[in-house]
């Protein structure tokens, strides 16, 4: 169960979000704040796991407040709740757990609470978040949800368990940025190491099975793949 602070300079917005959160059994105490200063006082007085922050507030904006609490010894997680899609990249830089657009849909709020509960249960490691666009809406996904990545020209398609997202980053750049945890298996594919079920060698061709999806392994990439998997549970059949 998580304890939260809802921060917004508009009282109706505070009450609406507080009501939605109160319907979730995973949420415990819900504190309300109408400004960044009130939120800081709540953090001093009560144990708080997460902040639900509006971005545009007078005096101390939601982004400013997120920067301030990031310097705490044990900072609370942050979820931005806003009508402004344009601030998603800056929110990503501040390691926000999620970015909800107003009006908040209950199913998206439930997903944010799920992520927050996972963080509270495993506080030692914060997930790396990736900004993606889906149907004109900006959202954040966890990097550890990505199974594999497929090159599409100057873009890359991120495949998760139940969806895929196109981002404007070449696969070569992602290979360098995500060298820890991902391995290049083909000019068109980058695969999460911990998602590989098995490696198949058949008829002189190699492939990997990633949670039921079979992907080709090029001859050039096979030695590197074998080396990366040498100490893992995955072995070629």
Q: Extract the tokens encoding 160.
A: 């998760």
Written as tens digits, the pLDDT of the chain (237 aa) is 899 999 999 999 999 999 999 999 999 999 999 999 999 999 988 999 999 999 999 989 989 999 999 888 788 999 999 887 776 667 667 778 888 999 999 999 999 999 999 888 765 555 678 888 777 777 788 899 999 999 999 999 999 988 899 998 899 989 988 888 899 999 999 999 999 998 999 888 999 999 899 999 999 999 888 888 774 554 444
Which of these, 96, 88, 100, lies nearest to 69 by C-alpha position? 96
CATH code at 2-142: 3.40.50.2300
Phi-psi category of residue 203: left, alpha or beta, with phi > 0 → left and psi -120 to 50 → alpha: left
Given this model, what pLDDT does residue 74 score?
Answer: 82
DSSP 3-state of 134: strand
User: Which part of the chain is CATH 3.40.50.2300?
Assistant: 2-142
What is the per-residue pLDDT for 72?
85
Q: Which CATH code, of 2.40.50.1020, 2.60.120.260, 3.40.109.40, 2.40.50.140, is assigned to 146-229?
A: 2.40.50.1020
- Kindly report, as residue ranges, where domains of CATH 2.40.50.1020 are found in the chain: 146-229
**8 A C-beta contact, residue 160 and residue 129:** no
Q: Which helix (H) or strand (E) holds 173?
A: helix 171-177
> Phi, psi at residue 173, to the nearest 5°?
-70, -40
What strands, in cross-sheet order, belong to the sheet with 205-210?
196-202, 205-210, 213-217
């Amino acid at each position: 169960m998580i304890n939260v602070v809802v921060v917004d300079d508009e009282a109706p917005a505070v009450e609406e979000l507080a009501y939605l959160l109160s319907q979730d059994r995973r949420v415990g105490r819900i504190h309300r704040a109408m400004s960044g200063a009130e939120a800081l006082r709540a953090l001093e007085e009560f144990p708080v796991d997460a902040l639900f922050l509006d971005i545009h507030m007078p005096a101390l904006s939601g982004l400013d407040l997120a920067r301030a609490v990031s310097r705490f010894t044990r900072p609370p997680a942050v979820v931005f709740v806003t009508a402004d899609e344009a601030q998603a990249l800056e929110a990503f830089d501040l390691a926000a757990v999620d970015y909800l657009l107003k009006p908040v849909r209950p199913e998206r709020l439930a997903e944010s609470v799920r992520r927050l509960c996972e963080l509270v249960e495993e506080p030692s490691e914060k997930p790396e978040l990736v900004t993606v666009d889906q149907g004109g809406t900006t959202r954040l996904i966890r990097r550890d949800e990505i199974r594999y990545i497929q090159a599409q020209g100057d873009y890359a398609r991120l495949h998760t368990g139940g969806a895929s997202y196109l981002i404007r980053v070449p696969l070569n750049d992602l290979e360098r940025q995500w060298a820890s945890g991902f391995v290049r298996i083909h000019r068109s594919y980058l695969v999460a190491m911990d998602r590989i079920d098995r490696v198949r060698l058949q008829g002189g061709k190699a492939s990997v099975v990633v949670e039921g999806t079979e992907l080709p392994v090029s001859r050039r990439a096979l030695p590197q793949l074998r080396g990366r998997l040498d100490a893992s549970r995955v072995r070629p059949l």
